Amino acid sequence: MKSRLLGWFQPAVVQKHRRSTSRRVLSLGVSVFVVVLAAVAIGATDGSAKSRTAAAELPREQTLFVGRTGGPLVPNGNPLSPSAVTDAGLRQSVFEQLFYYNWVNGKVKGWLAKSFKYNANFTQLTVDLRSGAKWNDGHAFTAADVSYTFNLLLTTPTLANAGTVQTTVASVAAPSSTRVVFSFKKPDRRFVGNVLAGYIGTGVTIVPKHIFEGQNAATFTFWDIDKGWPFGTGPYRIAAQDSIRATFNRNPTWWAAKTKLHRLPAPKYLVYETVTPDVEAQSLVTNRLDLSSGNINGLGTWRSIRDDNKLLGTWSKNGFVDPCPISLNINTKAAPWNNAEMRWALNYAIDKKRWSNLFNQTAAYNTGYVFPDYPKLAGVLDANKALFAKYPVTSYSLAKSSALLTKNGYRKSGSKWVGSDGKPLTVNLKMFSPTVAAAWGVGRDAMTQMLETAGFTVNSQALDFGGLATALSTGNFDALGWFECGSIAEPWQTLYRWRNDDLAPIGTRNPTPNAVRWDNARYTEIVNQMALLPGNSPKAKALTTEAMGLFLKELPVVELTQAAKTIIFSTKYWKNWPTIKNAYFQPQPQLYSFQQVLISIVPSPKR
């Protein structure tokens, strides 16, 4: 061995020539190539990337391709796992919800459940299931599955939604195979919408009792494609998955088709594929994708690609308004921002319209209130015009900002505001880094520049998701960019975020969404009263006006923009996409409710 190696590398004058170098290199290269390909073929077929059925390239005209931009797809099919991937087809096509929440009309649509009824004081809820619903392994879907799932959540705090369920639910019972009775710890008239209907990203997904029983639900991954896991009651079954793509086959024995609740969905195959924004845009131009993730780089990208492919469309020219407006949280426990006038001075210094346009890469808008601009909520703005005139929250006025700062003892030193002690008036500003979304890079720069122009000294910090979430929950900020997910059809859910229950001191994680730690007893009293009222009652409307008056006066949170999401679809292969003119459901492919879109699209004649 040694002599051969020595011979190979010694000068040729002392070595016998046997084979040419090129032949050796070629044979070595071919050997390595074959070995490596064999290794990847053998290695990659182990574990998560198996398939039972998929063996040939999918026929394009029978396949729906959907883009996504989230993290890696992993072998975890347990829908109760908080870190399970929720935006890549499993929740949209394999599992189904008891109800689906329609953001457009603000109503819940029964699916696995057909109806619900609260008792008079909203301490008990009775849900009746559809008969004939089946799991995709043939077992009947019954009230025992629902009861079992909720009892798991009551006893296992590490499961998704366990906190909400444990706060609300006292017990769950299944008196018959199609009836479930929930008993609440306190009255809750919105349990169906918030917990059973997949509200925004919430919603408890029911798991099959006959599979989960005897497993540790906190660590059970429900993943073995050879055994048909994971399965749900949905119109598709998982066929294959690697870290970037999940493929599903239509389930010909879907219970809803058998019971004539709905026809089988038109696409025979469904593919969710992880893409970068650039690849997503080009894939839409070339009809490689049928639907974008909704995280595509704003309306600017849509406007730049729509002329390249006339078959592309979107919800409306302004995109689809996300349910979570983007806001600036101002810490009410951090001096001097614990003074409402100082918060207003900060608000006046921000040109919200300009910030919104820069962030969204186009002419976007802000409404001044921290609710999404949805039809059912528009009435709140209209009914409170006098309030918004009194508190002009959308105004940009450096003069008003200066007046408030002067009133509070600040003076200008050069171009900067300083306090009576001569120290600069500093804002510790925290926002997402551009790695979370490119728009945040622009957003943070614009915000910093605006506040610096107004004379504030800004310590600006860009953080990743975990860093910003930690800063938010522990109150380690003066001003922080975040999202306000809450209301869809009535103002209560968003207003309820800022009640003063269990406020934690700065440095400790706050248990409620009131990250700004705004402490207003009357406000909390009002939103607690509203919890028991129907959103459209005169009493609730009056309380809304009073709560919003208190909120606007003290302004702990500033709305920066309505977040326009551009969900782009192609009509090359599929049509009947939801649009503002055909608004049968919200269009986002990452929501549980996309199941309703999936079963409604039809083949396009343009294919």
Partner 1 sequence: MTIRYVIGRVGFFFAIVWVIATLNFIIPRLAPGDPIEDTLGRLEVAGQSTEGADAMIAQYKAQLGLDESLFQQYIHYLGSVLTLDLGFSAALFPVKVTTLIGAALPWSIALLTISTLIAFVLGSLFGALLAWPRTPRFGRVLLAPFLLFSAVPYYLLAIMLSFLVAFKLNLLPPTGGTSAGITPAFTAESILDMAKHAILPALSIILAAIGFWMLGMRGMMITTVGSDHVLLAEAKGLRSGTLFWRHGVRTAILPQLTALTLALGEVVSGAVLVEVIFGYPGVGSLFYQAIRSNDYPLIQGISIVLAISIGLAILVLDLVYPLIDPRISYRRR
What's the closest the beta carbon of residue 264 comes to partner 1, in angstroms?
19
Minimum CB distance to partner 1, residue 316 (Å): 22
8 burial type by CB count under 10 A (0-12 exposed, 13-18 middle, 19+ buried): exposed
Distance in Å from the first CA to the final CA of the chain: 64
- Per the listing, tokens 């696409």 go with 267
**Closest separation in Å from C-beta 234 to partner 1:** 19
Strands 245-250 and 269-274: antiparallel
Give the H/E segment covering residue 543.
Answer: helix 538-554
* Nearest approach, Cβ of residue 433 and partner 1 (Å): 10
Which residue, 391 or 432, has its beta carbon nearer to partner 1?
432
For 100, half-sphere exposure in the C-beta direction (CA atoms, 13 angstrom radius) is 20
The nearer residue to partner 1, 285 or 393, going by C-beta atoms, is 285
Report which secondary-structure segment, H or E, holds 564: strand 564-565
The span from the CA of 465 to the CA of 456, in Å, is 26
Choose between 12 and 399: whose C-beta lies nearer to partner 1.
12
Nearer to partner 1, 36 or 363 (CB): 36
User: Helix H segments across 349-491?
Assistant: 352-360, 375-383, 385-390, 398-407, 438-453, 465-474
State in angstroms the smallest separation of the CB of 492 from partner 1.
14
Pair 327, 513: CB distance under 8 Å: no
Q: Closest CB to partner 1 among 325 and 455?
A: 325
Least Cβ distance, residue 498 to partner 1 (angstroms) = 13
Nearest-angstrom CA–CA distance, 512 and 496: 10
How many residues are recorded in the chain?
607
CB 438 within 8 A of CB 277: yes
In the complex, minimum distance from the CB of residue 132 to partner 1, in angstroms, rounded to a whole number:
30
Helices 298-305, 352-360: axis angle to 10 degrees equals 50
Packed helices 538-554 and 340-348: angle between N→C axes, nearest 10 degrees: 80
Cβ closest to partner 1, residue 2 vs residue 522: 2
Q: Shortest distance, CB of residue 318 to partner 1, whole angstroms?
A: 21
Residue closer to partner 1, measured from CB, 58 or 599 = 58
CA–CA dist 600, 128 (Å, integer): 25
The strand ranges marked E within 492-556 are: none
